[in-house]
Structure formats: structure tokens, C-alpha cells
Amino acid sequence: MRRNQWATLLVTASLWLSGPGFLTAQAPPPYARTLETYTVPDVVLVNQDGTKVKLKALLDSGEPVILDFIFGTCTTICPVLSAGYANLQTKLGTGPSKVHLISVSIDPENDTPKVMRDYLKRYRAKPGWDFLTGRREDIDKVMNAFNAYIPNKMSHYPLTLIRDPKTGKWIRIFGMMSSSEFVAECRKAGVL
């Protein structure tokens, strides 16, 4: 390779090396919404109480459900997704909740039931919000089934999936929502 080509390569590389700050200003968050059909894998996961949970039965029960992918020590994305869940629960009030909120761990090795219990406590989660962990293989199956597979948890992205209880279809929301947007999406999906 000629010398100036090296120089170009190095400068390009250094731009990446200089890290995220090189990117230009981050646009405000428009979220993308699509309607999808997913086949829920038949796996057994474990919830924050250490109880085994059949995912298929849970998601296909006909009960309104919302699903996201988080992990206990995640920065930026999970805190904000979880704040959205906590806020939705507050809005739904204290009565028996109609909507089942589910968070699936993408760091199943670290997210033991105890870690998940502590996490939910920090967000003052009420009954009706379950955090699920499990065998890495099974978690991979779940991520794949929802077209959300990531090989490295640090390149995780914000995704919220709302199941329409009437059609069984899923509304896939890519990006972050405000509280009013979240409520509006839930209404549209018929879960509120």
C-alpha cells in the first residue's frame, strides 16, 4: 500500500477511534413502527422470583402483553425503556393490571433472579411486570424469533413490542417513545 493510502486509512481509523464524539449531533428520536407476525419459541425461562415460565403460554395467552429486551447493568437504553414501563404502570393505576409487561434479559449470565428483583425494585415495579432470564441458547432463540438478535449486548438497541390481543400480531416499535406516545400506541393496539 502506498504511503498516502496508509495515511488515509489511519486518519479514517482515527476518526472511529476518537469514539462516539466524532459523530454529529444526535437527531431527536423519531421512532419507527411496523406490524409483524412472530412465532414465539417454546422455551422455559425463569422470572425474578426464580419461577419457571413457559414463554409461549405467557405470550399467546390472549392477555395484552408488551415485551422489551433489557439487562440489569445496561446504560442509557434500558433505564429509559424501563422508565417508560414504570410510567405506564403508574398511569394504569393500582387496580389489577390488564397489561402484562415483560422484559427479557439479554445478559442472562449476570441477570440472576436476585439481580432482576433488585432491578425491578429500583423502578418500583408493580405486579404485572416480569423480568425473565434463562439459558443463553433459549434467550438467543427468543431474540431471533423477534428479529432482535444481537451478538454483543453493548450493541443493544431500543425495541418495544406490543401484542394486539385480537389479531395476535405484534406492533414493533424501534426507538424511544414519550409517555403520551406509548399510551397512544397501546390504545391503537387495543391493549388499553
Partner 1 sequence: MSGWRSIPFLSRLLAGACGLLLLAAPAVAAPPAKPKAPGTVAGLPADKALALGERMYRLGILPSGESMPSVVNGDVPVEGTAFSCSSCHLRGGLGSWEGGIVTLPTNGARLAIPRYWKFPNLSPEERRELKLQNPAARPAYTDETLAHLLRTGRDPSGYDMHSVMPRYHLSDPDMAILIHYLRNLSARHSPGVVGDTLRFATVIAPGVSEDDQQAMLVPLNNYVARHNQFSAGFGNRMYLGVGGNEMSGAYRKLALSVWRLTGPPETWEAQLDAFLAKEPAFALLGGLAPGDWKPIHAFCERAQLPCLFPITDLPVVSDSDWYTQYFSRGYYQEGQAAARYLHGLEDSAPARKPVQVVQDSPEGKALAQGFRDTWAELGQTAVPEIPLPEGKPLALATLEELLAREKPSTVLLWTGASAFPALAALTNGATGAFLSARLLGSQLTSLPEPVRTQVWITYPYREPNLEPKHSLYADTLLGGLTQRHPETRISTRTYALVQILRQALMDMDRHFYRDNLLDRIGMQRDQILPDYLRLSFGPGQRYASKGCFIMQVGPGPSPSLIRKSEWVIH
Which residues sit at the interface with ligand HEC, rule CB under 6 A? 26, 76, 79-80
94 binds partner 1 (CB under 8 A): no
Of residues 33, 38, 56, 112, which one binds partner 1 by CB under 8 A? 112
DSSP conformational letter for 57: H
Strand 100-105 to 65-70 pairing: parallel
Instruction: Return the residue nearest ligand HEC (CB atom).
Output: 26
| Residue 45, C-beta contacts closer than 8 angstroms, at least 6 positions apart | 52, 53, 55, 104, 132, 133, 134, 138, 139, 142
Q: What does the chain come to in residues?
A: 192
- Count of CB atoms within 10 A of residue 35's CB? 11
Of residues 67, 72, 171, 185, which one binds partner 1 by CB under 8 A? 72
Q: Which is nearer to partner 1, 64 or 134 (CB)?
A: 134
Q: Which does 157 bind (CB under 5 to 8 A by kind): ligand HEC, partner 1, none?
A: partner 1
Dihedral sign for Cα atoms in the order 114, 116, 122, 127: negative
43 binds partner 1 (CB under 8 A): no
155 binds partner 1 (CB under 8 A): yes
Of residues 42, 54, 63, 157, which one binds partner 1 by CB under 8 A? 157
Walk across the sheet containing 129-132 and list its strands.
Answer: 32-36, 170-174, 159-163, 65-70, 100-105, 129-132
Q: Which does 77 bind (CB under 5 to 8 A by kind): ligand HEC, partner 1, none?
A: partner 1
Q: Which is nearer to partner 1, 123 or 165 (CB)?
A: 123
18 binds partner 1 (CB under 8 A): yes
